[in-house]
Amino acid sequence: MASNAQRRDITRDRIVKAAASLLRDQGPAAVTTRRVAQEAGLQPPALYRLFQDKDALLDAAAEHVFAEHVASKQTVAPSDDPLEDLRAGWNTQIGFGLANPHVYGLLFDPARARDTPAQDQGVRILAERVHRVAAAGRLRVSEERAVNLIRSAGTGTVHTLLTLPPEQSDPHLADAAFDAIARAILADEPAVPTRDPAAVVAAFRTLLPELPSLTEAEAALLDEWLQR
């Protein structure tokens, strides 16, 4: 027999999935207590016991949709080309935003900004891809800056494409934005000390965890010097 906690989790899952479907297909206005309860096969009081208000339910629904998206990204095995994997991740993220404008709007609205498990995992996946680029000697900036530049450019690109009037839509904007970011963060070819010292530094930082002769404190100090 299921415990009270298990029954509560099952009920919450039904509510979130129903709300996520309404949010994805019809937008936040469709996520009403009556509609969600009806779709979940529950009575409205069940929602009040699990969610403080509509905003909390919307946040949970948006997180659910984004978590499914992030989970699908984790099933994609890396290729032999870290640069192509970085571009593929960019295209996937832009595609998600354009296909899920209501969800994207909630997740990346500065007024509602908060860290969620799915968003944190999404950033980790991006950071792993950037790390592979750095290890290949192709990064001319720090990994942290590259991640932040890609994230900010991606969010801005999706927002712009979603708000442009149909007659001004630019199908090549996302590709152009990625190319601009690539020029800002990537070295033209694998790092050679006499050609791009910044790329050498970025590549060397990826090797710090593999230097057993350094203590943790020494590695941290060297990493700080390299960042400078």
Question: Token pair of 134, please?
Answer: 């750095």
Mean pLDDT of 141-145: 94
Half-sphere exposure of 206 (CA within 13 A, CB side): 22
CA distance linking residue 34 with residue 105, whole number of Å: 23
Q: In the predicted model, what is the mean pLDDT of the chain?
A: 87
What per-residue confidence (pLDDT) applies to 69?
Answer: 94
Q: How far apart are CA 155 and CA 174, in angstroms?
A: 11
Q: Any idea how long the chain is?
A: 228
Report how far apart, in Å, the C-alpha atoms of 31 and of each of 36, 126, 163 are: 6, 31, 22
State the DSSP H helix or E strand holding residue 226, giving kind and residue range, or none if neither: helix 216-227
Report the Cα 166 to chain-centroid distance in Å.
26
Give the model's pLDDT for residue 114.
72
Tell me what the mean pLDDT of segment 2-28 comes to: 92
pLDDT digits (tens, 9 = 90+) for 161-179: 999 998 998 999 999 999 9
> What pLDDT is stored for residue 129 in this prediction?
96
**Judging by beta carbons within 10 Å of its beta carbon (0-12, 13-18, 19+), is residue 65 exposed, middle or buried?**
buried
Could you give all domains of the chain from N- to C-terminal order, each with its CATH number?
1-51 (1.10.10.60), 62-227 (1.10.357.10)
The type of residue at 76 is V
**What CA–CA distance (Å, rounded) separates 178 from 175?**
5
Query: What is the pTM assigned to this prediction?
Result: 0.79
Predicted local confidence at residue 214, as pLDDT: 59
CA distance 29 to 160: 22
Return the pLDDT at 223: 64
The average pLDDT across 199-223 equals: 60
Rank 44-48, 94-98, 165-169 by mean pLDDT and report only the highest. Answer: 94-98
Q: Which residues, listed in sequence order, are joined to residue 186 by a DSSP beta bridge?
A: 139
Q: What is the pLDDT of residues 62-83, one digit of tens each?
A: 999 999 999 998 888 899 999 9
Q: Which two tokens stand for residue 217?
A: 């404190």
Paired with 139 in beta bridges are: 186
pLDDT confidence tier of residue 210, bands split at 50, 70 and 90: low
How confident is residue 193, by pLDDT bands cut at 50, 70 and 90?
very low
